[in-house]
Amino acid sequence: MAVTTPSASPLTALDVVRDAPVIPVIVLYDVRHAVPLARALVAGGIRMLEITLRTPQALECMRAIAAEVPEAVVGAGTLRSAQDAEAVLRAGARFAVSPGFTPALARACRSAGLPLLPGVATSSEILAAQDEGLSALKFFPAMQAGGVALLKAWQGPFADVLFCPTGGVQPGNARELLALPNVACVGGSWLAPAPALEQGDWNAITALARQASGLRPDDLK
């Protein structure tokens, strides 16, 4: 169930993963790209935006989008510490994504009011995340760790968990992943390709977002 407006409160992890078929994994090196990119993605039907903490400009990009694109829901990716959680919250992030899971990070995000999608790749990590009350998880690195086969194996023991597979996900395999009952959405970097960013080809990014918005499980049924 999608949230009704970007400013709806409180936002939950389920709201995040159920909003659209794809959460774009965005790496920004130029703050000038942040706002037009966000507008282009929103125009194509994608508004949950994961801005990764992989560049020195990431926090400034989050602040710009939060201030100038109210239709977007700013998320922060690559969180690794409680300090990261505090920093992205101040920058306007409304949800968080991490490459792995620790109880300390889960508690820091909960204290900050940031819904967290922690990365998991094993059954033990899923159990640890559930111990912290988390039931919407990022499966990372998805294709390298087992892909569709592992997700199918998890359906039995973890029927109450929803996953966002990320890592090696492309349009060619996204549909098969989205057809699984325990996959709510996928994460992918193809919605913000570096050449389009460098050229300012926002129409191309909107077209990619529209295509991603149409990656529904029903397409395979």
The catalytic site residues sit at: 50, 138
The b/e string for 130-152 (b: 16+ C-beta within 10 A; e otherwise) is eebebebbbbbbbbebbbbebbe
Q: Torsions phi, psi of 73, nearest 5?
A: -115, 110
Q: How many CB atoms lie within 10 A of CB 32?
A: 13
Amino acid at 220: L
The answer to whether 21 and 174 have CB atoms below 8 angstroms apart is: yes
Going by C-beta distance under 8 Å and a sequence separation of 6 or more, which residues neighbour residue 32? none
Tokens standing for 87? 């920093």
DSSP string, 111-162: HHT--EE-EE-SHHHHHHHHHTT--EEEETTHHHHTHHHHHHHHTTTTTT-E
Give the tokens for residue 94.
Answer: 């409304």
Closest CA to 93 of 40, 156, 39, 16: 16
